[in-house]
Amino acid sequence: MDEDFIRYLNNHYLFNIPHRYGQASERKQPTSRFYYADVRQDPVTNFVTYKLFKKFGVTTFKRIYMNLQFSGMDGDWHADDGESTYMLMVTPTLKQGSGIFEIKDKKQTHSVSFEQNKLVVFQAKAQHRGLAPLEPGLPRLTLVFKTT
């Protein structure tokens, strides 16, 4: 995304979109909870959706939402529903080792640093998790799109 637009998204999702506490990566046995908001009907999100449609040739998303984590709100290992997941890192870049996204393949676990405006695309069935920021008070916000 354009640098000004990603900054706009950061402020928009943090301050204009109501989000609720209690979301968990793994619903059966959650060990951590974080904030969540369904943003499918948000006009700003619709523009981001258009950009993804145009760039990747995707024709539909089954779910679009944002996750918001603070220190101590690590996600649990889980797989997503659907075919693919597109995850945009929205809030400012965190220091090295903070807010890491982890994904497993058959042989190892891969770590992806949290960098503002980074888009991570992966197979939905791959085990993954988002780790919370290490710094107290700093948010880690991702915008997530799930394909059917």
CATH label of the domain that carries residue 75: 2.60.120.620
Q: Which of 29-33, 37-41, 93-97, 103-107 has the lowest mean pLDDT?
A: 29-33
The DSSP symbol for 97 reads T
- pLDDT of residue 26 exceeding 80, the answer is no
The residue with tokens 């060990």 is: 31
Question: What's the number of domains the chain is made of?
Answer: 1
Residue 114's domain spans which residues? 3-146
- pTM score, two decimals? 0.94
Mean pLDDT for all residues in the chain: 94
Pairing type for strands 84-89 and 101-104 reads unpaired
Supply the pLDDT for residue 23. Answer: 81
How many Å is the Cα radius of gyration of the chain?
A: 14
Read off the pLDDT band of 29 (50, 70, 90): low
Supply the pLDDT for residue 31. Answer: 74
